[in-house]
Chains A and B, each alone.
Chain A
Amino acid sequence: MPSALINVPAKAKRGDIIEIKSLMSHVMETGYRHTASGEVVPRDIITSFACRYNGNEVFRADLFPAIAANPFITFFTTATESGKFEFEWLGDNGFSETASASIIVE
């Protein structure tokens, strides 16, 4: 199973703007490269990333071949209530990974 690194503040005050960081292990093979014998290396990338905060989607991104290996995605959201952030990465060849992190909002 590929590794993911998630950074969500453990605690925040209600209304705080918090930064969420995510790093997913993936080769992000563009599909534009060739082997020494001239064959195309098939595309293998993550195509979408989404983050849900207590079930509500707060961030979504589509990914394309020009994105480097091990995509690092960071974004901001407002801390509204205690609960869970769920992350989902989908990609070529049935790639599907999830991760989660919890937050306490005071």
Chain B
Amino acid sequence: MKLVCLIVMAGLLAADAFAAEIPSAERRSGYSFMTPDTRAMQDDDTANPGMLGVLDGEKLWNRKAGAADKSCADCHDDARASMKGIAAHYPAFDKALGRPVDLEQRINLCRANHQQASPLAYESRDLLALTAFVARQSRGTKIETGSDPQLAPFIAKGRELFMQRQGQLNLGCTNCHDDNWDKRLAGSAITQAHPTGYPLYRLEWQSLGSLQRRLRACITGIRAQAYDYGAPELVELELYLMSRAKGRPMEAPAVRP
């Protein structure tokens, strides 16, 4: 059934060859596509399962790690003050690496450089929990990603990837998320793909997951070869999506169906 829908969609999309960006005033969070039940789950901090990750993240924030025997809190103190609004600027440009890094990579860089600890694996419970805890401190802050001029060439690369048709279904992100966001695919809302709430709790996953996990799932869905976790292409795509969502308030940890 899903396959048939995809094929029908592919046909529709091929006919609609002109991709148009969504005007800024019409950009809507995935939240606005959800049912009242799922919205209520996200809005209530004691019903939102993403908050379990935030609680775990707070414990990790205060736990000493690595050869330096330092916790995040030893340098950054109370995350409620020091991490306020930080996630709304990510992915951000890293001077030492000369390229953008996302929040997960920043946490792992901090572990390597300041805690002398081993990096946490992508999608591991601990990395998701720490990221969720940091991102939680930006809830309600408007997304500012991309204001740094050094990021311009990387945003352009991300945009190119977003527009690029690929995979056996020969679809680009834009064909669904710019041109058909008001329609449904296999019963689900397509949405505009604004990553306002990552890491988020997806009911389908039954766990927290990162934006990279979401992107990889989408890329697999169009039957293209997904980039590895941490690949520069995925970070550039994250960067483009966040800059595209500029001005939308952060919701992390969000809940999605």
- A residues with a Cβ closer than 8 A to B are 2-7, 21, 23, 25, 27-28, 68-70, 72, 74
- Give chain B's interface secondary structure class: loop
- B49 at interface by CB-CB < 8 Å: yes
In the assembled complex, how far is the CB of residue A89 from the closest CB belonging to chain B, in whole angstroms?
Answer: 13
> In the bound complex, do residue A5 and residue B55 qualify as a contact, i.e. CB atoms below 8 Å apart?
yes
In the assembled complex, how far is the CB of residue A19 from the closest CB belonging to chain B, in whole angstroms?
Answer: 11
> In the bound complex, do residue A23 and residue B49 qualify as a contact, i.e. CB atoms below 8 Å apart?
yes
- A22 to chain B: closest residue by CB: B46
**How big is the B interface, by class?**
10 to 19
> In the bound complex, do residue B206 and residue A70 qualify as a contact, i.e. CB atoms below 8 Å apart?
yes
A3 / chain B contacts, CB cutoff of 8 Å? 52, 55-56
In the assembled complex, how far is the CB of residue B174 from the closest CB belonging to chain A, in whole angstroms?
Answer: 33
Which of these, A2, A5, A68, A70, contacts B46 with CB under 8 Å? A5
> In the bound complex, do residue A23 and residue B206 qualify as a contact, i.e. CB atoms below 8 Å apart?
no
A-B contact count (CB 8 A): 38
A-B contact sample (5 more), CB < 8 A, given A23-B49, A68-B203:
A2-B52, A23-B47, A23-B51, A69-B49, A69-B206
Known A-B contacts A23-B52, A25-B52, A70-B52; the reply to A6 vs B206 at CB < 8 A is no
Near A by CB (< 8 A), chain B positions 42-82 give 44-47, 49, 51-52, 55-56
In the assembled complex, how far is the CB of residue B17 from the closest CB belonging to chain A, in whole angstroms?
Answer: 40
Report the Cα distance A42→B49, complex, angstroms. Answer: 23
B116 / chain A contacts, CB cutoff of 8 Å? none
> In the bound complex, do residue B49 and residue A70 qualify as a contact, i.e. CB atoms below 8 Å apart?
yes
- B residues with a Cβ closer than 8 A to A are 44-47, 49, 51-52, 55-56, 203, 206-207
Report the Cα distance A72→B44, complex, angstroms. Answer: 12
Report the Cα distance A99→B138, complex, angstroms. Answer: 28
Report the Cα distance A3→B73, complex, angstroms. Answer: 20
Report the Cα distance A74→B55, complex, angstroms. Answer: 20
Which of these, A5, A27, A72, contacts B45 with CB under 8 Å? A5
> In the bound complex, do residue B207 and residue A5 qualify as a contact, i.e. CB atoms below 8 Å apart?
no
Report the Cα distance A3→B46, complex, angstroms. Answer: 12
Report the Cα distance A69→B207, complex, angstroms. Answer: 8
> In the bound complex, do residue B46 and residue A7 qualify as a contact, i.e. CB atoms below 8 Å apart?
yes
In the assembled complex, how far is the CB of residue A55 from the closest CB belonging to chain B, in whole angstroms?
Answer: 24
Which of these, B44, B47, B55, B206, contacts A68 with CB under 8 Å? B206
In the assembled complex, how far is the CB of residue B110 from the closest CB belonging to chain A, in whole angstroms?
Answer: 23
18 contacts between A and B (CB under 8 A): A2-B52, A4-B52, A5-B46, A5-B51, A5-B55, A6-B46, A7-B44, A7-B47, A21-B47, A23-B46, A25-B52, A25-B56, A27-B206, A68-B206, A70-B49, A70-B52, A70-B206, A74-B47
In the assembled complex, how far is the CB of residue B58 from the closest CB belonging to chain A, in whole angstroms?
Answer: 9
Residue among B44, B47, B52, B56 facing the most chain A CB atoms (10 A cut-off)? B52
Report the Cα distance A70→B53, complex, angstroms. Answer: 11
A21 / chain B contacts, CB cutoff of 8 Å? 44, 46-47
Report the Cα distance A27→B52, complex, angstroms. Answer: 12
- B46 to chain A: closest residue by CB: A7
B46 / chain A contacts, CB cutoff of 8 Å? 5-7, 21, 23
